[in-house]
Amino acid sequence: MAYERLDEALKMLSRKQLLELDTCARCALCTDLCPVYAESKNPLHAPGVRSSRILSLVNKRLSLWARLLGPRPLSEGELEELVESTYHCTLCGRCMEACPFGLETHELWLSVRSLLNLLNQTPPRITMLREMLRENGNPYGLDADMRLDWVDYTGLEEAPVKDRAEVAYFVGCTTAFKAVNQEIAYSIASLLNELNVDWTLLGEEEWCCGSPYLLAGDREGAREAAERNVEALKARGVKTVITGCAGCFRVMRWEYPKLLGGPLPFRVIHAVEYFSEHITSGDLKPEPLDARVAYHDPCELGRLGGVIEEPRIILRVLTTNPVELPENGLEGRCCGGGGLLQAVDDELRLSIVDARLRQTSELGVEILTSACPSCKLTLSDGVRDRGYNLEVLDLMELLARQMGL
Amino acid sequence: MTLNAYPALYTFSVGVLPYITVIAFVVGVIIRSMKWLSAPRGSPTPLSLTAAIRQMILDVILFRKIYRHDKLTWLLIFLFHISAGGIIFGHMRGFKLWSAELFAPLSEGFKNFLVETLPIYMGYLFIATQLILLLRRLSLEGRKLLSHPNDYAALLLLLAASIAGQGMRITPPEAVDTTYTVSFIPRLVVLHLEKIPSTPWFLLHVILTQLFLMYIPYSKLVHIYTGVITAALYGSRRSEYGL
């Protein structure tokens, strides 16, 4: 173990994060509510255990005692266990919302991933994913010229890639490349066409938003991705960027200003925000559906992104029978699709989504909607794997469908 | 028997230990603060005073998040903190930070209830809630998982100090109608007792309480003061997100 490197990496933790680690009163509320621990029952996966492990590491190496008496060595397997703990987390932020002292664990877990990245301790499958990101600009290892294939697959007639436009639709990799999600892109594009908006796609110039880089602990990679996308959007004189992906939305709206050190020259909004305004103003008048429809809050849109009411505005006009799931809004239960958990432990991801689908089916829900391609992917995988009788749709798909598009 | 029945112990716990307590506490706070300040600043949180105060009231004082998820734990924690607050407030009278005259507008009976009777019940409540919380920590899966041996040390120390304090209240005083002044730190920390308490309980309470105070900055008990800061910062951050 190269201790100099470890000590340098530990110095990445900010003073607020060290204060937070010391503040944890070990009340275990975070652990009681963690969707990962609830399914795995592995103590290492409990958020409170994770923070204790990090604190122990900091105290062994950087505390005053360590400075006076010399830093203490790590015990056998300590770092490996921290890797196991850190990557068995969906980064849903439920622990943060549960914490009575408001410890910003979401940010802390991301910093720990950066720390492990510096120590070359990132799990091999995550390292592979990062290499694909660097090479292709998406986490699926597909060529950039396949980014618009969804247009042909879905039969969308008008998909403009313009030099200048008021609005840009940032599709996102999981929507553009994953077949199960391509209807989301079709729906958003069709709705923009229906409203006669001056809009554009970035086409091959669209690059990964940077979210997977952050989840893999590569902040520099995320900054480069942000720079590239912002340049492409700025060059088109875009005033508003719309995305239907909760991950892209959170990173572009909340992380880009931090990564780039200043405000963006355009506003970033999620498609549910954009279209809920048009529903409220009467520009869009969908036909309500007579079915029990529920909305699952994507963690990155709701709790971590601050968009909670808008999808509900849309849901209420799309169905005569909206259903509110338990654990919703700020306390939304994670589907398991976040934090790159799929790459590390797919079986666990399916157990987590099963818990959410059980809640849904107990309420007799016929259509389960969300506003995130990762959620749709995971919920669909769960329905297929565990045999639920439930249709999974993105809210935008349902909106386009009820608009007859 | 007076409070000086054990002169060496009395001199140590009242004349020497208070200085050690203050030094240990201040050094502990400095060590912790230095540890935090030695780290980089990180991304700044724009401070919103209203959001910060709101968050502190709802989460640190009313324990809103605990209430949402676990009503029984909330009740226990709320009663524990209410009784702790009441007991600290009561002690402040002994240190002349307020006097019983504060309740002068109230009837004599009610005033006596507040000053004489209520503190005894507060003491029982404080001990009972601590015991139940400790038992829950020992038995509930999540809490057991997160608890370190030094967490139990802090809880046991507080429990012992509280039992000794309650013992002081409920056992007959050694002298009534005799006020007694205990000068922990002359002119700065002076305790004015209305009756002379039984010596063993008093000494035990004084020693254990000081050990507890010393332990605060070296243990998870730092949340007593850092929790206010983190909650305020969180409130500010969430208001930035429109939440």
**Closest CA–CA distance from residue B37 to any residue of chain A (Å):** 6
Which of A245-249, A287-291, B45-49 is the least confident region? B45-49
If you measure CA to CA, which chain A residue comes closest to B155?
A25
Q: B148: pLDDT confidence band, cut at 50, 70 and 90? A: confident
Nearest-angstrom CA–CA distance, A343 and A349: 10
Is the predicted pLDDT of residue A164 greater than 70, yes or no? yes
**Closest CA–CA distance from residue A68 to any residue of chain B (Å):** 12
Nearest-angstrom CA–CA distance, B129 and B141: 19
Chain B residues closer than 8 Å to A258 by CB: 43
In CATH, what class is B47-174+199-240? mainly alpha
Domains with residue ranges and CATH for chain A: 3-121 (1.10.1060), 125-276 (3.40.50.1860), 282-402 (3.40.50)
Chain B residues closer than 8 Å to A60 by CB: none
Contact indicator for A162, A192 with CB cutoff of 8 Å? no
Substitution target in A7, A16, A67 with the highest count of B β-carbons within 10 Å is A16
Nearest-angstrom CA–CA distance, A299 and A306: 10
Q: Are A33 and B69 a contacting pair at CB < 8 A? A: yes
Give pLDDT tens digits for A124-152. Answer: 999 999 999 999 999 999 998 999 999 99
φ, ψ at A198 (rounded to 5°): -80, 90
Q: Are B233 and A97 a contacting pair at CB < 8 A? A: no
Domain positions in chain B are 47-174+199-240
Chain A residues closer than 8 Å to B36 by CB: 15, 18-19, 22
What is the structure's pLDDT at A2? 78
DSSP A217-251: T-HHHHHHHHHHHHHHHHHTT-SEEEES-HHHHHI
Q: Give the mean model confidence (pLDDT) for residues A324-332.
A: 96
Q: How much is the ipTM here?
A: 0.91
Give pLDDT tens digits for A11-29. Answer: 999 999 999 999 999 989 9
Residue A4: CA count within 13 A, CB half-sphere = 0
Query: Model-level pTM?
Result: 0.93
Which of A61-65, A385-389, B2-6, B102-106 is the least confident region? B2-6
Is the predicted pLDDT of residue B204 greater than 70, yes or no? yes
Give the Å distances, CA to CA, from B221 to B152, B189, B229.
11, 23, 14
Is the predicted pLDDT of residue B1 greater than 60, yes or no? no
Is the predicted pLDDT of residue B131 greater than 60, yes or no? yes
Of A27, A33, A64, the CB nearest to B35: A64
Taking all residues of chain A, what is their mean pLDDT, rounded to a whole number?
96
Q: Among candidates A345, A109, A342, A139, which has minimal Cα distance to A217?
A: A109
What is the structure's pLDDT at A293? 98
DSSP A152-191: HHHT-S-----SS-SEEEE--HHHHH-GGGHHHHHHHHHH
Q: Are B140 and A26 a contacting pair at CB < 8 A? A: no
What is the structure's pLDDT at B238? 87
Q: Are B231 and A102 a contacting pair at CB < 8 A? A: yes
The one-letter code for the residue type at A14 is: S
Chain A residues closer than 8 Å to B237 by CB: 104
DSSP-assigned letter for residue A300: T
Is the predicted pLDDT of residue B177 greater than 80, yes or no? no
Q: Are B40 and A12 a contacting pair at CB < 8 A? A: yes
Q: Are A101 and B223 a contacting pair at CB < 8 A? A: yes
Of B40, B146, B230, the CB nearest to A26: B146
Q: Give the mean model confidence (pLDDT) for residues A84-106.
A: 96
Exposure string of A72-98, with b = 16+ CB inside 10 Å and e = fewer, is: eebeeeebebbbbbbbbbbbbbbbbbb
Q: B43: pLDDT confidence band, cut at 50, 70 and 90? A: confident
Is the predicted pLDDT of residue B23 greater than 80, yes or no? yes
- Helix axis angle, A47-62 to A3-10, nearest 10°: 120
More confident residue, B164 or A66: B164
Give pLDDT tens digits for A232-271. Answer: 999 999 999 999 999 999 999 999 999 999 999 999 999 9
Which residues of B lie closer than 8 Å to A, measured between beta carbons? 31-32, 34-43, 45, 55, 59-60, 63, 65-66, 68-70, 140, 142-143, 145-148, 151, 220, 222-223, 226-227, 229-231, 233-235, 237, 241-243
Of A14, A24, A28, the CB nearest to B142: A28
Is the predicted pLDDT of residue B179 greater than 90, yes or no? no
Residue A366: CA count within 13 A, CB half-sphere = 10
Chain A residues closer than 8 Å to B148 by CB: 26, 52
Q: Give the mean model confidence (pLDDT) for residues A328-351.
A: 97
Nearest-angstrom CA–CA distance, A130 and A218: 8
Give pLDDT tens digits for A19-61. Answer: 999 999 998 999 999 999 999 999 999 999 999 999 999 999 9
Q: Give the mean model confidence (pLDDT) for residues A379-383.
A: 98
Chain B residues closer than 8 Å to A306 by CB: 241-243
Of B34, B41, B223, the CB nearest to A25: B223
